Amino acid sequence: MKKISICIPCFNEEGNINHLYKELLDITKKYKKYDFEYILVDNGSTDKTKQLIKVLAKKNKKVIGIFLSRNFGPEASGQAAFNYATGDAIIGISADLQDPPELIPQFIKKWENGYDIVLGRYIKAKGNFLMNWIRKSFYKVFKTMTNIDMPMNVTGFGLIDRKVNNIYRSLPEKYRFGRGLIAWLGFKKSYIPFKKQPRFKGVSSYSFIDYIKGAERGIFGFSYLPLDIMVYAGFILVLISFLFILVYLILVLFFGNPIKAQIPIMLAIVFFGSIQLLAVSIIGKYIQVIVEETKARPTYVVAETVNTK
């Protein structure tokens, strides 16, 4: 009998876990030819999430609880869930019920038809207009800068085959952007549209800063275009500066000093200083990635597990 692992990263989801678990049971009990396991990763929650996971694990040995020693970020909890998954197919779903569990049968059907990766692609997101615009803009920028085909509005909600997960888990990098890595791997993909729903209960812990950090992981982890832009910009600015100096010397030779230089000099200092600061900042970000990789620290630390072998 083949096994399917359902991976659920959790952070302060005490109001959602039981409802999600019940919905998952209602869906998976219809499949007699598959064995299911439910992997819930608690990412350092400060509410009753940990206790609720333990209660579910005590009632059902197929519920696996992974408890991280602190909050290591959303990428870490997802990675932990995929590392502990033993299924022939692995399904990732958020605990807040924004990802509709009723899509799971469609994921499984696509997988049975030979697709290695099946991802949900939301067509309408309820929420802040500004955040929706930022998300769309990021997908466009990411695709342009990396030449990796990551379709717009694709999240971590979906299914991957075990062979894909084996490769995904073996990737050694610590500075991870999971959606980008799945897109980078290739394989045969399919996408299923759905409407993203509001959280069932509670408030999202994913802040605007988290979105910025995720975008940084995607851009600096997959593209050297920012460095290339700085090289080209530097060359163009040097050329413009040389021409400006040449023209200014000609004006001085033939007309004396017709230009009052205080304002142009001040503007030039501010402009070139800003360009230099931007260039140094971009280089600093790539150095940060190098430092993170060379530290070789684990992506997360597991404090406790339940129902693991």
For position 66, which CATH number holds?
3.90.550.10
- Do 219 and 248 sit in the same domain of this protein? no
- Do 36 and 24 sit in the same domain of this protein? yes
- Do 264 and 158 sit in the same domain of this protein? no
- Do 145 and 216 sit in the same domain of this protein? yes
- Do 276 and 187 sit in the same domain of this protein? no
- Do 216 and 240 sit in the same domain of this protein? no
120, 157 in Cβ contact below 8 A?
yes
- Do 142 and 203 sit in the same domain of this protein? yes
Burial class (CB in 10 A: 0-12, 13-18, 19+), 249: exposed
Using DSSP, state whether 139 is helix, strand or coil. Answer: helix
Residue 38: its H or E element: strand 34-42
Q: Is this model's pTM higher than 0.85 or not?
A: no
Structure tokens at 169: 């888990």
> pLDDT in tens for each of the 309 residues of the chain?
788 999 999 888 888 888 888 989 888 888 888 889 999 999 888 888 888 998 898 888 888 899 999 888 878 888 888 889 888 999 988 888 888 888 889 999 999 898 999 988 877 655 566 666 767 777 777 667 666 777 777 777 889 899 999 988 888 777 777 777 888 888 888 888 887 776 656 566 555 666 676 666 667 766 777 777 777 777 777 777 777 777 777 777 777 666 666 666 776 777 777 777 777 887 887 887 787 777 777 888 888 888 877
Domain tally for the chain?
Answer: 2
Can you tell me the distance from the alpha carbon of 237 to that of 131, in angstroms, rounded to the nearest whole number?
35
- Do 270 and 180 sit in the same domain of this protein? no
| Phi and psi torsions of 192, nearest 5° | -120, 120
- Do 62 and 161 sit in the same domain of this protein? yes
- Do 202 and 276 sit in the same domain of this protein? no
Nearest to 223 by CA among 295, 299, 138: 138
Using DSSP, state whether 126 is helix, strand or coil. Answer: coil
Nearest to 155 by CA among 184, 207, 118: 118
Q: Position of tokens 């030039």? A: 268
- Do 230 and 192 sit in the same domain of this protein? no
User: Which residue(s) pair with 120 in the sheet?
Assistant: 192
- Residue span of the structural domain in which 259 resides: 225-295
In angstroms, the Cα distances linking 29 to 21, 44, 102, 139 are 12, 30, 13, 36
- Do 258 and 195 sit in the same domain of this protein? no
Residue 90: its H or E element: strand 89-92
